[in-house]
Structure 1
Amino acid sequence: MAGRWKHAPTDSHWGEFGADDQRGRMNLVDSAKVLQGIAEVREGKTFCLSLPLDVPGGMTLNPRRMPAQMFATLRDGKSAGVQGYCWSYASEDPDQTDVVCDEVLLMNTQYSTQWDSLAHMGSRFDADGDGEAEAVFYNGYRAGQDIRAAQEDHAAAADWARFPGPRADALGIQNLAEHGVQGRGVLVDLEHHIGRQRQAVGYDQLMRILETDRVDIEAGDMVCIHTGFADTLLAMNRKPDLQLLHATGSGLDGHDRKLLNWIVDVRLACLLADNTAVELVVPKLTTPTPMRGPRLPLHEHCLFKNGIHLGELWLLTPLARWLRANGRSRFLLTAPPLRLPGAVGSPATPIATV
């Protein structure tokens, strides 16, 4: 398979869409799925599924991710932008009346409502079959070669200057943007059934919820998991209460093998949620005989093994309320990431149309 691997991980689908595929299960969102999504539009009503880009606020929720900062751009040695001095073309020609503000945005691409690209998370796996595990990503793309900022043991910020240009030469978020993210969305309303308590939802409980709400998920659907977490976060007005948030909201149980198998078998295109990781992150366990494995098993299963993009911190509560009140679970979802070559993630402003 393009010489990148001899062995694929257990329960993976490397090569499903070709040895060089970089879009994974989003390949299932074809023209027919776009038309299915459009067919769900009956009212012409839209919902913005994005948090404001400066939410959560600060770095309390995730100390590794920097919030948006805006700086005025410079023109002729002077700043111009909403944060500072607005310049006028009159300085060049007194007959010109334009007054211009301009700015620079600096932020982590996965700070607020976001997409994870397939370059976001890989795993240490013996893809070469030589008995030595190496850091690899979906379809066998390599850390330090195809995803250069992830060069193993050399990923400190001080080393990034040694790798000019795009960080993800393969699997970057631009692949998702260029494919286009528009099709049929399906919402699963966990909050309605279990409230906003912290609970890991496994296969059996999820199937009961789908059956009760008569939610059908078909190949190529983009599945949205509503827990109420983002709504709780938004109400904190950019001052996140970490203790409350850690006790708030459900998530999928990434340790449930039946659930992981179902995610692949149902052939959903992508998995999106209003919490921080789609799966419920559990504290790291300390045992006398620790088990080697991923910290985020659903991330590994989706991004690394099966090419399933993840979306996090989507604001789903207003949409969930409307869908339930109208006896619906499907809608047209339009959610392109930034076409930013080499990025491992992207802010998003998804729109649901019903």
Structure 2
Amino acid sequence: MCESTDVSNVPGVAALFEKLPKNWGRWGDDDEVGALNFLNPYEVLRGAAAIRQGKTFTLQVPMGSPHGDPVWPGRTGAKRMNVMDRGMYVAGKADALAGGLQYADDMMVMYLQGSSQYDALGHTWYGDQIYNGFDAMTTVGGLSKASVLPLAERGIVGRGILIDMARFRGKKYLDRGETFNHVDLVAAAKAQGVEIQKHDILLIRTGWIGKFYKVSAEEFYDNFLEPGLTFSPELVHWFHEMEIPNLVTDTIANEVTVDPVSGVQLPLHNALMRNLGVTFSEIIALDALAEDCVRDGQWTFLYTAAPLKVVGGSGAPVNPIVIK
């Protein structure tokens, strides 16, 4: 995801956001996990009931890939470096341990949101408040409120449903800047023979991350404008009424990069994440899962995820596991 969305210079936008529903205080003044509160033991069992075949899928993209890693423009992909390997012993730079044991060791430098990842609820804001009304100053030097740590400590488990928007529109991947809304999601689900239910973890495939691995970086990032959900008050109310706990997509920012009507960048990060506490998971690999869903006709499953427990983090890498 990008840095915080600034709407202060767009007339009427901040006022519009303030008219939209909020879940602030719904689970107490100290709540830091937002809509994940909907995922109670009943919802975990509802997710488990969707397991029919025992198939498993991991949804993280590779880290430190030779092709590069899909990241928000301005960020760099993960850099992995060997600090110990066979070459150290051959060169006489290291001695084997007692008994002859040798080993390899390495380290990685990366943006915490430089791979498949979860956003902390305090990751973006407008004005002076982040999720649940916490002061935006609590983000200085690390998030002391609404960081990724409470999400990681809680974990995310429930019934997931995959909506293949690219396939619904007859494409390998959606076009640059192509948009869709909640009405389109419901229609796509109907075409798949499923129904989005209250408290479902919503996975949306656009094909965009899959495209990253099929084209050059120059082509992928040229005039960067991702496809995705587009803002409207109606869409926000739909998420609120459906009590969606988690939005998961195969794009870098979970929504169209620039709203085509207002020109605001990433308004849903405020309208859904900041206001409603909907957790965002981005850069998720959905192509293999989608292909399997087409083959067996099963579009619902148990979805599980546990981002890394990064103290004060605005996000953290994750490798979600789906069980069908």
TM-score range (shorter-chain normalised) is 0.7 to 0.9
Shift of 1:34: 1.5
Residue number among 310, 313, 316 corresponding to 1:343 in the alignment: 313
Q: Does 1:28 align with 2:38?
A: yes
Deviations 1:95-123 (A, max 9, x none): 42221222221100111211111021111
Shift of 1:261: 1.3
Counterparts of 1:270-309 in structure 2, within 5 Å, are 270-282=246-258, 294-309=264-279
Runs of 5+ unmatched residues, structure 2:
1-16
Q: Quote the Cα distance in structure 1 between the aligned partners of 2:190 and 2:130.
A: 35
Q: Does 1:241 align with 2:219?
A: yes
Look up the match of 1:251: 228
Q: Does 1:105 align with 2:108?
A: yes
Counterparts of 1:1-354 in structure 2, within 5 Å, are 9-10=18-19, 11-54=21-64, 62-73=72-83, 80-81=84-85, 85=88, 91=95, 95-124=98-127, 135-144=128-137, 146-149=138-141, 167-194=142-169, 195=171, 196-198=173-175, 199-236=178-215, 239=217, 241-242=219-220, 246=224, 250-254=227-231, 256-282=232-258, 294-354=264-324
SS in 2 for 1:224: strand
* Mean CA deviation greater in 206-215 or 300-309: 206-215
Shift of 1:269: 0.9
Q: Quote the Cα distance in structure 2 between the aligned partners of 1:346 and 1:352.
A: 19
Shift of 1:250: 3.7
Would the alpha carbon gap of residues 15 and 23 (structure 1) be closer, same or farther in structure 2, given more than 3 Å must change?
same
When Rg is computed on C-alpha atoms for both structures, the one with the higher figure is 1
What's the TM-score once normalised by structure 1's chain length?
Answer: 0.77
Look up the match of 2:14: none
* Mean CA deviation greater in 297-306 or 56-65: 56-65
Q: Quote the Cα distance in structure 1 between the aligned partners of 2:89 and 2:116.
A: 30
Shift of 1:264: 1.4
SS in 1 for 2:118: strand
Shift of 1:86: 5.9
Q: Quote the Cα distance in structure 1 between the aligned partners of 2:140 and 2:111.
A: 18
RMSD of aligned residue pairs (Cα, Å): 2.9
Alignment size in residue pairs: 302
- Contact 2:56–2:322 under 8 Å retained in 1: yes
Q: Quote the Cα distance in structure 1 between the aligned partners of 2:183 and 2:66.
A: 32
Look up the match of 1:160: none
Equivalent AA in structure 2 for residue 148 of structure 1:
V
* Mean CA deviation greater in 213-222 or 30-39: 213-222
- Contact 1:14–1:306 under 8 Å retained in 2: yes
- Contact 2:305–2:320 under 8 Å retained in 1: yes
Would the alpha carbon gap of residues 182 and 85 (structure 1) be closer, same or farther in structure 2, given more than 3 Å must change?
farther
Q: Quote the Cα distance in structure 1 between the aligned partners of 2:164 and 2:155.
A: 26
SS in 1 for 2:18: coil
Q: Quote the Cα distance in structure 2 between the aligned partners of 1:174 and 1:268.
A: 21
- Contact 1:230–1:315 under 8 Å retained in 2: yes
Q: Quote the Cα distance in structure 1 between the aligned partners of 2:70 and 2:319.
A: 23
- Contact 2:70–2:114 under 8 Å retained in 1: no
Equivalent AA in structure 2 for residue 191 of structure 1:
A
Shift of 1:244: 6.9
Would the alpha carbon gap of residues 294 and 306 (structure 1) be closer, same or farther in structure 2, given more than 3 Å must change?
farther
Identity level (%) = 28
Would the alpha carbon gap of residues 86 and 23 (structure 1) be closer, same or farther in structure 2, given more than 3 Å must change?
farther
